[in-house]
Structure 1
Amino acid sequence: MRTLLTFCFLLLTLFACKTKEKDTKEEKTTREKKPLEFGEVLISTQSMEFFVADTLYSGWNTLIYENKSPEVHFVMMDLYPEGITIENTKAELLPPFDDGMRLIMENKMDSAMVAFGNIPKWFQQVKFLGGTGLVSPQHTAKSTVYLEPGRYIMECYVKMFNGEWHTSHGMLKEIIVTNQTTELTPPAPSAIIDISSTDGLILKDSIISGNQIFQTNFIDQKVYENFVGHDINLVRYDNTASLDSLIQWMNWMNPKGLITPAPEGFTFLGGMNNLPAESKGFFEADLVPGNYVLISEVPTADEKNLMYTFSVKE
């Protein structure tokens, strides 16, 4: 009997050790997983650059963008056609945009349009898969987007005080998105925004203070006069702000548009950059009582109904 009990005790001890060893290995595996595997993408800017991983996973990713610089920036994810790289961007795409913007700053719009005519044909095949909206200095924005595998250019084309693009000063980075997918699932929204070229921008829920997660539904998409589609930017404004100045500033083809400094009285809190038709994305913001506007970076956003003002009460 004593021998049997001893044998049973040894079996139980061995089983407990194996179970503990298995649990320890599973815990270790979980601890060793990188944030990128969970779709957490940390991005920061200190001047005119993006500090971010060179390789990301496909699927849902949350872009957490910390703007430590003294200027307004955004993050835009451009999926490039096969065979096109950042070297093509620098050699073929930036020069006509640089020339065109220089001519706009000289009030030579007709000549600028001729320069833009040299934009390479492959640019029409670029697929814009979201990013953040505009982000004020010393602010952090969080957006969740679905990334397909492929070669991307992360960019910001806000303009410096002299009209030169941020892209031409270092704010473009090549990123490879692999076939391996993240473990992230879309967040549960607290508010829904529909956006289209026909009905404009519609906020479908009332908004209260605190942390809000906005789901953005891109019903359709089109290319506007400024060569880009509609997006969504969340902006808080105070009593000194002029909404007319914001509307004009949101058009980069205006010599004073999308240029440093941004109009006074506005704080840019992120949003959702361009997405294809029938796509959705999410962005998060901590709202305090005050006045807000949702606006697209297109010419005459108010006339296109791509602007929506609302207030958050105490």
Structure 2
Amino acid sequence: MEFNDLRIFQTVAAHGSISKAALELNYVQSNVTARIKLLEKELQTPLFHRHKRGMVLNTEGKRLLEQSREILSKMEEMKRSFQDKSNPSGILKVGIVETVVALPDILSSYHSKYPNVELSLKAGVTDLLLQKVVDMKLDGAFVTGPIRHPLIEQVEVIQEKLVLVTKGPTFSMEDITTRPLLLYNKGCGYRGRLESWMKVEGLIPKQIMEFGTFGTIIGSVAAGIGITILPESSVRNLAAVGTVFVHDVPDPYREITTIFIRRKDSLLTSTLQCFIDEIVSRTGYEHSLYSSSR
């Protein structure tokens, strides 16, 4: 079995078509077909359900797809680990929650120092980004912490205060039961804090409206549609000009920590090491890399 056979297999799986895969790979169709058949022969099992309109992975094919992603990811990590450590290059895949106030400064400084590194950013909620790091689909991610996971190491980035955000200057606990809550999707750390608080207080929200982006949430709050919870830093400028108003969240739900996580058993490439060094340099949290299992 060759690494290239796994790449061909992944491409066919992605397109569900030999012809489309051959076009992307710039191979003749017969070569792609032959490599897939050889792979199935070596593994002694079919990998696809074949039909007139194309091909769909069967159970064994889905299993190989996950394993092949991990194998090829490890191979790429191995290649990158032998790069010139003073001049890293390649792609660095980083996940982000959208309200990390320190992120632009970190990214700008890193890009200035290491222009040969291509930063690929993926936005999402904490639980989703954590899973992508565990699955090695991301090199690392900025998420809400702390994270307790045996495969994860984390760097503290910034500690912040959560606030409730409304259109008007007044707020009471009863508003949570009479106004819609505008929140990120399930798995968001901010949402988790609010839901824990409501549970303790015995509050049942009137309605929860889920959104995927900060802009949509804050724009909807400013329009008077409902209430949200966010880090104070992310809405400070809007609050200063009266576009929205902020209200305190009680302890122990107020404090929130943004962390950068990576899978600790993966190769720490020079590209990622330099990125972590930049986080520590820009945030001042020295010696802050630690295992989440502690």
Please report the TM-score for the alignment, with normalisation by the length of structure 2. 0.25
Greater relative contact order, per chain length (Cα 8 Å cut-off, separation 6+): 2
Structure (1 or 2) with the greater strand fraction: 1
Structure (1 or 2) with the greater helix fraction: 2
Please report the TM-score for the alignment, with normalisation by the length of structure 1. 0.23
